[in-house]
Structure 1
Amino acid sequence: MKKLESRQDIENLVNSFYSKVVKDEVIGFFFNDIAKVDWDKHLPKMYSFWESILFGQMSYKGNPMAVHFPINEIQAMEQKHFDRWLELWKTSIEENFVGENADMAIYKSENIARLMAYKMDLARRL
């Protein structure tokens, strides 16, 4: 197992994660059917997002929360969906990486999932 320490590592992690997501019965439909993700555009954004989160590179420009609200209006993004997202993310990390940055990627993802689940639920109630 190797340490998570470069942009290339992040790209490998993100690619591993999304290869699971697109086939997943619980959350895959959000990406494939609802958002109809253009992977050539989405993946580089996710590389930059995680590079910013983990390495402070500030290469990501965007508002991830805002992108999810329209999807949430079409199909409720519920706690079970965030739990599954988190499970796939953690699995992707644990299959490939060890060390402080791998642990931080899990910690940060738990915070992101918690906040997004809360905000999506709140948006549905308003």
Structure 2
Amino acid sequence: MAQFNDISTFEDIKLLVNTFYSKVQKDEFIGPIFNEKIGNRWPEHLEKMYRFWQTILLEVHSYSGSPFPPHKQLPVAKEHFDRWMQIFTETTDNLFSGPLADEAKLRAKNMAEMFNYKIDYFRNLEKSQTDNS
């Protein structure tokens, strides 16, 4: 079995993000959603993701912003987050091993669950407001 190093550098972050999103773009289930939303802005999205994960995993505070709002109106459900998480976990496990790799998977899982919960919440809120008007 191959021995993998842990995530420890900005180059590791870039490898994880680039590998993960190249799989996402090609995925039949979630790829079309990402490709439609991001369009030709993939380089900017990847740069933002590098900074996001660098801040979370390497404690280099290069990301600022609120990650949820751009996702609020996406046409996604739990199955989409499950697929996203499956690809993220497989990508991480195929590239890295160690405490920061485990932290990346945990943070991704928590984020997917929170985003899914918040998207459902706002959808239900909008639906109830529409139903009551």
TM-score (structure 2 length as normaliser): 0.87
The alignment status of 1:45 with 2:44, answered yes or no, reads no
Matched length: 122
SS state of the match for residue 22, structure 1? helix
Distance 1:37 1:84 in 2: 23
Percentage identity across paired residues of the two chains: 40
| Partner deviation per Cα, 1:53-73 (whole Å, 9 max, x = no partner) | 112211112211011113x2x
Is the CA contact 2:54–2:62 (under 8 Å) kept in the aligned structure 1?
A: yes
The alignment status of 1:98 with 2:97, answered yes or no, reads yes
Distance 1:48 1:96 in 2: 19
Q: CA deviation at 1:37?
A: 5.1
Q: Hey, what does 1:115 align to over in structure 2?
A: 114
Is the CA contact 1:31–1:37 (under 8 Å) kept in the aligned structure 2?
A: no
Q: CA deviation at 1:35?
A: 3.6
Matches within 5 A, 1:1-126: 1-36=4-39, 38-70=41-73, 72=74, 75=75, 77-126=76-125
Is the CA contact 2:38–2:45 (under 8 Å) kept in the aligned structure 1?
A: no
Is the CA contact 1:78–1:117 (under 8 Å) kept in the aligned structure 2?
A: yes
Q: Larger Cα Rg: Structure 1 or Structure 2?
A: 2
Structure 2 unpaired stretches of 5+: 126-133
Is the CA contact 1:3–1:102 (under 8 Å) kept in the aligned structure 2?
A: yes
Runs (4 or more) in structure 1 with deviation over 6 Å come to none
Q: CA deviation at 1:25?
A: 1.1
SS state of the match for residue 39, structure 2? coil
| Partner deviation per Cα, 1:87-122 (whole Å, 9 max, x = no partner) | 000011000000010010011111101100100111
Q: CA deviation at 1:33?
A: 1.9
Q: Which amino acid aligns with 2:123?
A: R
Is the CA contact 1:86–1:110 (under 8 Å) kept in the aligned structure 2?
A: yes
